[in-house]
Structure 1
Amino acid sequence: MRNFRFTPTVALFQPLFWITLRAIVLLWPGLAATAALAQMPQHVQASIVAKSEAPRPGTNTRIAIRMTPETGWHGYWINPGDSGVPVEAEWHLPDGVRAGALEQPSPTLLELGGLASYVHEGAFTLLADLAIDRSVAPGTALPVKVDLTWLACSDSLCVPERTTLQLTLRAGDGAVDRSRQSLFSAAEAALPSSGRAQGRLEAADGRWSFVVSGAQGLNVGRTYLFPMEDGWFEASAKQQATRAADGTIRIEVAAPGPAPSPRFAGVISDGRQSFMLTGLKPDKAVAPVSEPATAEEATASEIPDPATGREANGSAPKATPPSTGDVPALKIALIGALLGGLLLNLMPCVFPILSLKALSLTRAGVDRRAARLEGVAYFAGSVATTLLLGAILIGARALGHDIGWSFQLQNPHIILLLMLLSLAIALNLAGLFEMTGVSVANRVMGKPGWSGAFGTGALAALVATPCSGPFMGVALGAALVLPPPAALAVFAGLGIGMALPFLLLAFVPALQRLLPKPGAWMETFRRLLAIPMLLTAIGLAWVLGRQSGVDGLSLGLLIATLGALGLWWIGHRQSRGRRAGTAALPIMAALLLAIAIDLPRPVEATPIASTGKTEPFSETRLAELQAAGQPVFVDMTADWCLVCQVNKRVAIDRPDTHAAFDKEGVVTLVGDWTNGDPAITRFLASRGRNSIPYYLFVTPSGETRELPQILTSELLIEQAASGKPS
């Protein structure tokens, strides 16, 4: 598993991957019949045995559940860490019998692709106590049944698994089967020792300090603390363990925020011995957030000093947006919009649409006039969509709303509609049904004519809006301050850039001749292009869950299922030469529900960890750090921003980047724009921007550097290393 590396695309969808797996495990009982029919082999074998098959009424008897993974596979602990699902048990017991909680041996730490998990890497035994009531008559049959669900993972695959274990006990004298004694003795020895280790929990400077006594014999160099509850600290956070002269062990770890519960419980282990820690109460709150500056203080701090040209707080003055009458600024903005639009064609949600539309020009019977007509129509659809979005943005800002590019993605209803649209396109490309309206792909690889090409261009522009890529940041920022006609020209330039490749193909026969000849391979290619569209739908589902929580995601998936069933029904009727008819009703119902259903209000963004190194963004905090001569990295991001998520995985959240930032004392300020934040929008506007990603680096001397929208770890390390320009 240590040799497995995530590509940027895989890393981007890691969070959704684990959410999906958790949902599957929770829903697995409803799929049991299907799983049984499939007879899929299980990678972790489970068995059950009782310490006594004749438990005495009024006493407890031990039950052991033995989990044996295949070589290279593992299961998860009570708290799985950053990823995974633990073993969960649902007991079915007769009257007079109660089951206690599952007790697990201590886990080991497994790190993979930036995620840290608490796992059981070999065979492990879970123990539970069955309490037999005194009222149970001797000789009574006691059938015991337990439904188990868990997640089994290997180097490159995770599989949710399920089984039902049964055994029949009979109330008796409590005699113990000696042949099983060794199994239970080994299982109990593997459990963390309770009652021997004591501890206290201290909080200071954004860190927890766990001071443990009574854990004799632990190898401090291999000691690790595993919290039984998530939220105390990140599973991947570095733990520093030291032993004092009196034998106590101190473990320090960064705290992401306030304690998630009044008392801490966990396991301290060195891989050979383990001790249970319970009831540790923090001596005080951790990582207090500094009070925001008053309005008077904030205003005063922004007044430039006439002698130095710097603001009173020591920070550099804010960037001045381009003048509304600056013609060169308009030219630069237009060039940036054109280049940015060109690059949007490489997005995973746009590339399949463009590819199939381009291949539609290779079909037999398409003359030059028809090709040009389609090129112009595609061009018109793309430009009209970006103009419409730009007009809405400009109008809303004129009315006093603090919004920016991709504003529509801050609404969960829009995310849901785009998710349904992406799913429909993916199913169409996979051949489940054929579109007869807007043309993306059908049996002749693209519906000819003005309407199909116009709709395809509009569709491509619509699904390409989640992020701004290279060259687009300055262009869209300039649109904030240019007069409305000039600003609309910038948005039109974005649509032109997107449509330009297909327009050139339509008007230049030499380029058409470079395309591969039509053939059966086109159908295979079409189905392969369904994959990036399906990944787009999955990514949008993840964003919906982040915006509306689990309830909103569940509603969205139910609506998507309804729509998919309708599309399947249409495809079934089409295969028989019949029209859609009543099969369109589920699709109409799904669209109406997506628009009218009362989705949960957008959840507040998860507070960014204030660990002393990473903090939530505020202009006040940025000014304080600048005044103190602290190097700062500003990261403006959102869950729906594809480029942001890729940058996070391949550049920002890398061990070498973290090490460089820690060495130079760089504080990262993260601004989450997922649900829209007027303060972030105003800050972006003050920097001449209205889109993300946006990255800023402030040196100890106060120099402010704008970083490119495509980051590398090397670039960030270079910025942190010195105050010299890179």
Structure 2
Amino acid sequence: MTIAAPPFARNAWFQALLLAFAALLVLPQGLAAQEADDERALSLQRIERTGDDRIAVDLYADGAPRAGETWMLALRFTPSAPEWHGYWANPGDAGLGMDLVLDLPEGWEAGEYLYPVPKRLLIADLMNHIYEGEYAVLVPVAVPADAVVDGIPEVTGTVEYLACTDEICVPQGAVLSAGQGSTLGRDFARWRAEIAPMLDAAATFTITDQTLRLAIPLPESVELSDPHVFIANTRLVDYAPFQSFWRDGDLLLVEVPLSDFGSGEAETIEGILSFGGEAGVRFAAAPGEVAIVGDPLVTMNSAEALTPPLWTLILGALVGGLILNIMPCVFPILSLKALSLARAGESEAEARSEGLAYTAGVVLACVALGGIMLALRAAGEQVGWAFQLQSPSVVITLLVLATVITLNFGGIFELPSIDTGNGQGRSAFGTGLVAAIAATPCTGPFMAAALGAALLLPTPLALLLFAMLGLGLALPFLAIGFVPALRKRLPRPGAWMDTFRKAMAIPMGLTALALIWLTAQLGGRGFALFALVALFGIVLALYVVGRLQKAGKMAWPAFGLVAAPFLIFGAFALPSSYAPPSRDLTASLLEPQAFSQEVLAEARASGQPVFVWFTADWCVTCKVNESVAIERESTAEAFKEAGVVAIVGDWTVRDEAITQFLTEQGVAGVPLYLWYEPGSGEPEQLPQVLTPEMLSERALRDR
């Protein structure tokens, strides 16, 4: 049976209209295909024009795929010369990530690209995430369960990327092809091993006003030589500033400053945690609460950030040592040694010899103290500058020394090694040792950064800073010895010099009294009382020596006979009476809390301003600042009005937690004053010399 077409269908006009309608239906598909072909051709032309001569790229397949499994492809990048480097997915402040397009069989899907642990490259305050040398990026491909697989399929594609040196960047691109014979078994095993593995447990993150905080589950046994977190999210964090790390058991806490140009928002955070070198893990973080607790880590990148240029550190140590000469325990020694040159006459050779010997004694003492401190830290001891004053035995030794010098200056007895009139190099050398030992417990302006950096720098550079500190301390006397014009300005010798010498016994005596008070602070009142009994025996013995010296008789054997019973008593009584008292925080107007990492973390989480100060009873600068700026009614009222949380760290007695925190802040001793703005990441480090209104004005500003 034949069905005839309707009459209108046999009409010529209708047939023409039908053909036009069919063309309209086909035209969009044809245009889309043509547009895709044109774009593909344009991309290929662009890639052919750029080439891959700086960093070559090849596509490989890891054997034949299997239906329903993940098939792995690899892009191997090979620089033509060592100076060329490529980039991670998030290149950092500059650079360009890889743009890859693969032609896969229908239904096959490429997953997230897998990268090795990148490296950091800092150029002009711009942090880049790079790869040096040959590296491979793996591309997992999901093969459908119903796929028909017959060997290795032909896979083609294009890739565009950037090749850079420290000076220039060149766009690169290549047409890719992988098929039969492209697999490299041993290379794939190595490439897989270089990829940062994914953590099984999820991380947590929270974003504050200024920082991104991460809590990454990581076994405490994993060593972190130089940790760094590479954040895959672009325009979220600031890459150049150093990152802060804490260990809390099997949890690694990280704090990273936010970028000034981003939104400061993210639904998830992904990245790579580098342990240091080529080892690391990938992580994915979900929103949650992250509190900063645990033990802080001092990392290489934080050390670099905390360490100013070497020349500024050397200058700071030199100027800091120079300032120590005005300390009451150093100025009398320096003054009398300077006047000894005037008494010794105008001999150039003798003046230079005195200057060099004194300088040698000072520098040797500073380097020795610094070397002992570095050795103790290398052995795992948490000590800082002035660590010797945290030892009761050292403080008692300094008390005896200050008392002996006071009696010598007062004319009670004569001690050749301190006698200012013999003009001998040996005397100057011994005086230099005494001056350095008496001065180095202090940490004054300009010294903090230098001594803090000495804890982070290699040992030779650290010892250089300690030597420069000693040179600064010895510089005035060295200048007097080598510059005749300065010696000519010294007063002429006369009877007044003996009066001046006795006057210099007053500041030395005040130093001895301060050390008696410090002895009580370190070991308790009973400990200080027994120390005074032993000291009385030494004073009595020196008085007897002085009387015998004035009579022209043999004096020093009498010292042993008189002092021995008192010293034996002290040797037995002092250890048994040692009982360090606890600090009475209720006596402070600011009502501070005792420092700990937990207390600081809780205070910062409160959303209130936080003021933290670190002090010690033996720190003169600390005590002056407390009387001038901290323990004031106006400061207490301003803190109360602004809701400032006050925290004090007492470093009078050795405290490993405080020492570690000081090191983290890039300082080696006290005083240290930190101000945390609400929601801030890194604290503001206030000057070491506080003015009366500095703290109250800052508190009212944050009100």
**TM-score with structure 2 setting the length:** 0.57
1:645 to 2:623 alignment: yes
Distance 2:565 2:385 in 1: 30
Flag the 1:325–1:482 CA change in 2: closer, same or farther, 3 A.
farther
Distance 2:400 2:516 in 1: 9
Distance 2:676 2:305 in 1: 30
Q: Report how many aligned residue pairs link the two structures.
A: 425
1:197-235 superposed Cα distances (whole Å, 9 cap, x missing partner): xxxxxxxxxxxxxxxxxxxxxxxxxxxxxxxxxxxxxxx
What secondary structure does 2:513 align onto?
helix
- Does the 8 A contact of 2:480 with 2:486 survive in 1? yes
Q: Which residue of 2 aligns with 1:608?
A: 585
1:292-331 matched pairs, under 5 angstroms: 296=248, 299=251, 302-304=254-256, 312-313=290-291, 323=303, 329-331=309-311
Q: Which residue of 1 aligns with 2:453?
A: 478
Flag the 1:645–1:540 CA change in 2: closer, same or farther, 3 A.
same
Q: Which residue of 1 aligns with 2:597?
A: 619
One-letter code of the match for 1:395? Answer: A
- Does the 8 A contact of 1:344 with 1:350 survive in 2? yes
Flag the 1:612–1:652 CA change in 2: closer, same or farther, 3 A.
closer
Flag the 1:685–1:715 CA change in 2: closer, same or farther, 3 A.
same
- Does the 8 A contact of 1:303 with 1:312 survive in 2? no
What secondary structure does 1:536 align onto?
helix
Q: Percent identity?
A: 44
1:154-179 superposed Cα distances (whole Å, 9 cap, x missing partner): xxxxxxxxxxxxxxxxxxxxxxxxxx
Root mean square deviation, CA, Å: 2.9
Distance 2:501 2:629 in 1: 33
- Does the 8 A contact of 2:316 with 2:450 survive in 1? yes
Q: Which residue of 1 aligns with 2:319?
A: 339
What secondary structure does 1:345 align onto?
helix
Q: Which residue of 1 aligns with 2:410?
A: 430
Distance 2:449 2:250 in 1: 27
Shift of 1:333: 1.6
Distance 2:311 2:689 in 1: 23
Q: Which residue of 1 aligns with 2:426?
A: 451
Q: Which residue of 2 aligns with 1:21?
A: none
Q: Which residue of 2 aligns with 1:166?
A: none
- Selected match of 1:525 from 500, 518, 530: 500
Shift of 1:516: 1.6
Distance 2:621 2:447 in 1: 12
Shift of 1:467: 2.0
- Does the 8 A contact of 1:420 with 1:560 survive in 2? yes
Distance 2:638 2:533 in 1: 45
- Does the 8 A contact of 1:402 with 1:678 survive in 2? yes
Q: Which residue of 2 aligns with 1:537?
A: 512
- Does the 8 A contact of 2:359 with 2:432 survive in 1? yes
Distance 2:694 2:305 in 1: 35
What secondary structure does 1:546 align onto?
helix
What secondary structure does 2:690 align onto?
coil
Q: Which residue of 2 aligns with 1:61?
A: none
Distance 1:596 1:495 in 2: 36
Question: Which has more radius of gyration?
Answer: 2
Shift of 1:425: 0.7
Flag the 1:656–1:522 CA change in 2: closer, same or farther, 3 A.
same
Shift of 1:590: 5.7
Shift of 1:297: 8.4
Gaps of 5+ in 2: 1-245, 270-288
1:458-509 superposed Cα distances (whole Å, 9 cap, x missing partner): 1000011222000111110000110000000011111000000000000000
- Does the 8 A contact of 1:477 with 1:690 survive in 2? yes
Distance 1:605 1:683 in 2: 21
One-letter code of the match for 1:537? Answer: A
What secondary structure does 1:363 align onto?
helix
Q: Which residue of 1 aligns with 2:375?
A: 395
- Selected match of 1:565 from 521, 537, 540: 540
Q: Which residue of 1 aligns with 2:338?
A: 358
Q: Which residue of 2 aligns with 1:722?
A: 701
Distance 1:342 1:477 in 2: 18
Flag the 1:472–1:364 CA change in 2: closer, same or farther, 3 A.
closer
1:663 to 2:641 alignment: yes
- Selected match of 1:509 from 462, 472, 484: 484
Q: Which residue of 2 aligns with 1:39?
A: none
- Selected match of 1:379 from 312, 336, 359: 359
Gaps of 5+ in 1: 1-293
What secondary structure does 2:524 align onto?
helix
- Does the 8 A contact of 2:613 with 2:673 survive in 1? yes
What secondary structure does 2:414 align onto?
coil
- Does the 8 A contact of 1:304 with 1:312 survive in 2? no
Q: Which residue of 2 aligns with 1:283?
A: none
Shift of 1:424: 0.9
- Does the 8 A contact of 1:319 with 1:687 survive in 2? no
**TM-score with structure 1 setting the length:** 0.55
- Does the 8 A contact of 2:344 with 2:421 survive in 1? no
Distance 1:715 1:298 in 2: 41
Flag the 1:656–1:318 CA change in 2: closer, same or farther, 3 A.
farther
Flag the 1:469–1:602 CA change in 2: closer, same or farther, 3 A.
farther
One-letter code of the match for 2:609? Answer: P
One-letter code of the match for 2:676? Answer: V
Shift of 1:334: 1.2
Shift of 1:300: 5.6
Distance 1:409 1:336 in 2: 23
1:367 to 2:347 alignment: yes
One-letter code of the match for 1:647? Answer: N
